[in-house]
Amino acid sequence: MSCRFLRRAAESPRHGGYPSKKTLALQIEHNRTSRGLQGLIFTRDDRAGEGKLSSRLGLVTDAVEAGPGLDLYGYVVGQLSRGGRVDYVIVDEAQFLLSGQIDQLARIVDDLELDVFAFGITTDFRTRLFPGSQRLIELADRLETLQVEAMCWCGARATHNARTVGGEMVVEGEQVVVGDVAQSAAEVGYEVLCRRHHRRRMTSAAARGAALSSDVLPVTAT
């Protein structure tokens, strides 16, 4: 799941899968820029590298890397104090922010009266809330599910994020490990699954392997 955050904006906060949230974040940036508005984009641990916001469609834009030591409110105030223009704020990978940084986003909305859009998945590969997502849910004025829903390999609605290594699901390890949804064989990757297949640890690779297994006897006509 992913979410989009705070207050006055006409576009609503959303939840969805990895590709959809990044594309929507970039779409909001494009729409507002085309109307003559100027914004700030914060991100964390994007696969395109530090200080980048990218989507699976190949779209990339510059962003500010929101490391754990960055005061988001202070950064925006600094931009305004130097004569810069900030009409809105977009935050990608908001689940990786500290709880205090989410409080700073709320302060940007309330004290500076700026629109803030935050995107991020809600739970980790163990189905536990990220601290940043938990605080976001507690403070957000609106939360909505993305209309473009992620789908499990079986065709059901995907609601859980699985971490994979070589296509096999793992349930132990650090909460944050940067990977991709299109990993090669031995790399850490992520796959969205329905709850049933997440509970069964049945990834798309595992399902293909089971279908091709010699343990499955062919059915012959008698």
93, 113, 144, 191: which one is catalytic?
Answer: 93
Which run of H or of E encompasses 80? helix 72-81
Q: Name 2's Cβ contacts closer than 8 Å, sequence gap at least 6.
A: 14, 15, 16, 17, 18, 20, 21, 119, 120, 121, 122, 146
Cβ atoms of residues 61 and 53 within 8 Å: yes
Cβ atoms of residues 17 and 152 within 8 Å: no
Structure tokens at 136: 């976001």
Phi then psi for residue 78, to 5 deg, are -60, -40
Specify whether 29 is catalytic: no
Cβ atoms of residues 203 and 164 within 8 Å: yes
- Please report how many Cα atoms fall inside a 13 Å half-sphere around the Cα of residue 177, on the Cβ side: 19
Phi then psi for residue 91, to 5 deg, are -125, 120
Residue 36: beta bridge partners?
Answer: none
What positions carry a catalytic annotation?
A: 93
